[in-house]
Structure 1
Amino acid sequence: MTYTVWIVLTAVLVGLSCSLIGVFLILRKMAMMADAISHTVLLGIVVAFLITKEISGPHMLIGAIIAGLVTALLVQWLHQFDIEQHASIGIVFTTLFAIGVILIATSVGNAHLDVQHALMGEITFIPWDTITLPFVGKVPVATAMLSLVLVIVIVSIIAFYKEWKITSFDPALAASLGIPVVFMHYLFMSLVSITTVASFDAVGAIMVVAMLITPAASAYLWTDKLSIMLLLSALFGVTSAIVGYYVAAWLDTSISASMAFATGIFFLISFLGSPKHGLISKYNRIAS
């Protein structure tokens, strides 16, 4: 495949994985958790480097996933002390991210770890870092990893669809039905962490947050049915990735930023034009 196809395919995989997970983040009113984890994984990456002195390998993924899970655990722990959840997220997010930035500045030295790369990502480098897979041939490492993550996300959603649905809308009912609510919560946080980490190096935190939240928020405006919401969110995520790439090529600007901008455009269209929750339809109902 061509250089352009690999970039677009990688972005589409990010859009699919993040937009599907994002639906449950929106329904659980945990949108800010996406921003928190997408930044605090930086600490896990830095700590993994300090331990191994290598800037690539599975240890980086493991370190980042652990950082994401630690973020979820600390937020839940603070919330148990009657601290509002959004406040807990803000405290944990800023503290762990700041520690990661300080470690980069003071301990990493000349290694290629920098805050700007972590925030913006550099998707244009994706096609050059490849791995050879059986029956497939050379594939970019990020594309292969994101493909695996997408499979894990889809299988998890299908396998636990009823559990996700009930625990997202009514945790008390789920507990009364014998569904392990706490286990499902941390399983979900694991999926968020894995998805975020897999997307992090390729596209950066800004696009990860945009893809986790905005397509799902757009889909939420169009339907009240979970299955349709998942499909619409995935459609918005994929379309934003494709449109964003060509906008970036046209304007000769950041690809990740353009894709994030495209998600905002789809949200604006949804916010204005949704037949049930859109601003125009609400105005027409009031006027009539």
Structure 2
Amino acid sequence: MNDFYIILTACLVAINCAIMGSFLVMRKMVMIGDAISHAVLPGIFFAYIFSGSTSSLPILIGAASSGILATIIIEWLTHKAKLQSDASIGISYTLLFAIGIILISKFGANADIDQQCVLYGELEYVPLWLEPIIGNFYLPKQTIILLIVSVIVLFAVIWGYKGLLITTFDENYSLSIGIGVGFWHYFLMSGVSLTTVVSFESVGAILVIAFLSGPPAIAYLLTGNFKKMLVLSCAFGILCSIIGYYLAKSLDVSVAGSISVVIGGVFAIVFTATTLRKSKIDVISN
């Protein structure tokens, strides 16, 4: 059952990140997920200081607050200070991440807060914290939280699909017909923050970034239809999670690292195949 718990948890993270990541890829904002995943450390530290506990709820609230703060700083630097978005992201997340590292390494020695876990996650240890569901059926605590978040993300995207889609592909047209571009931007960023914050405890920041960018990028290479892109992103995320887990198990290496490598490998294969296909089509057409 441990294999099932770990794979299920990884797949839930993959699905949530694939959905959010697809919008980020099309908006050319995928690195904002990187910023949020690194910026959660100060929020985690202050949540522990004020609550005196490393339980999920205070940590989740603190991390989410820190992630939203990072988003606000990025937006302010981009639109008010007129910095380029990549510069705004780089300044924001390195500042918050560095502050978090310093605070935790200096004052968090007695707490169960490890910056390495934030980077690489604790996916292998997910089965250690089981909660009863029905009868003798148990699920890991983190998996239950991810299931709840999956439902929230799914319903949020279904409810706001038209607004998200229009503002993603044509911001000027959205403004001309009176759609609140700012509202839908922060709506999406809230979803990205929630997804990233809930996911990093299990899989770590590195794999969250890989899930946000890899499967959507693979799907983007294969289809020009956004709905199909969403489905393919989720499918590739699940596939890479399963392959990556069993590869890690056979080689006795990090599960998060193995899944990230598989995502990169699949992207390389798909990119090569689509590039060769386009080259052949160009040769034939000429």
Per the alignment, residue 207 of structure 2 pairs with: 207
Gaps of 5+ in 2: none
Q: Is 1:49 equivalent to 2:45 in the alignment?
A: no
* TM-score for both structures, normalised by structure 2: 0.95
Per the alignment, residue 178 of structure 1 pairs with: 178
Q: Is 1:251 equivalent to 2:247 in the alignment?
A: no
Aligned-partner SS, 2:132: strand
Per the alignment, residue 159 of structure 1 pairs with: 159
Equivalent residue for 1:282, pick from 275, 278, 282? 278
Cα RMSD (Å): 1.3
Per the alignment, residue 224 of structure 2 pairs with: 224
C-alpha distance in 1, partners of 2:177/2:242? 42
Aligned-partner SS, 1:244: helix
How much does 1:266 deviate?
1.5
Q: Which amino acid aligns with 1:119?
A: L
C-alpha distance in 2, partners of 1:212/1:67? 19
How much does 1:138 deviate?
2.8
* TM-score for both structures, normalised by structure 1: 0.95
C-alpha distance in 1, partners of 2:202/2:19? 18
Per the alignment, residue 5 of structure 1 pairs with: 4
C-alpha distance in 2, partners of 1:184/1:141? 31
Aligned-partner SS, 2:208: helix
C-alpha distance in 2, partners of 1:235/1:85? 30
Aligned-partner SS, 1:55: coil
- Provide closer, same or farther for how the CA distance between residues 87 and 56 of structure 1 changes in structure 2, counting only shifts above 3 A: same
C-alpha distance in 2, partners of 1:138/1:257? 27
Per the alignment, residue 114 of structure 2 pairs with: 114
C-alpha distance in 1, partners of 2:136/2:157? 27
Q: What is the identity percentage for the equivalent residue pairs of Structure 1 and Structure 2?
A: 41
Aligned-partner SS, 1:83: coil
How much does 1:194 deviate?
0.7
Larger deviation, residues 127-136 vs 95-104: 127-136
- Provide closer, same or farther for how the CA distance between residues 106 and 132 of structure 1 changes in structure 2, counting only shifts above 3 A: same
How much does 1:128 deviate?
1.1
C-alpha distance in 2, partners of 1:119/1:19? 19
In the TM superposition, what whole-angstrom CA distance separates every residue of 1:186-213 from its partner, at most 9, and x where no partner exists?
1111110111111111111111000011
Per the alignment, residue 144 of structure 1 pairs with: 144
Q: Which amino acid aligns with 1:284?
A: K
C-alpha distance in 1, partners of 2:182/2:50? 31
Per the alignment, residue 71 of structure 2 pairs with: 72
Per the alignment, residue 17 of structure 2 pairs with: 18
Larger deviation, residues 261-270 vs 236-245: 261-270
C-alpha distance in 1, partners of 2:52/2:259? 33
How much does 1:135 deviate?
6.6
Gaps of 5+ in 1: none
How much does 1:115 deviate?
1.5
Aligned-partner SS, 1:168: helix
C-alpha distance in 2, partners of 1:108/1:147? 30
- Provide closer, same or farther for how the CA distance between residues 112 and 82 of structure 1 changes in structure 2, counting only shifts above 3 A: same
In the TM superposition, what whole-angstrom CA distance separates every residue of 1:53-82 from its partner, at most 9, and x where no partner exists?
211131110111111111110000000121
C-alpha distance in 2, partners of 1:54/1:267? 40
Q: Which amino acid aligns with 1:191?
A: G
Per the alignment, residue 125 of structure 1 pairs with: 125
How much does 1:261 deviate?
1.0
Aligned-partner SS, 1:214: helix
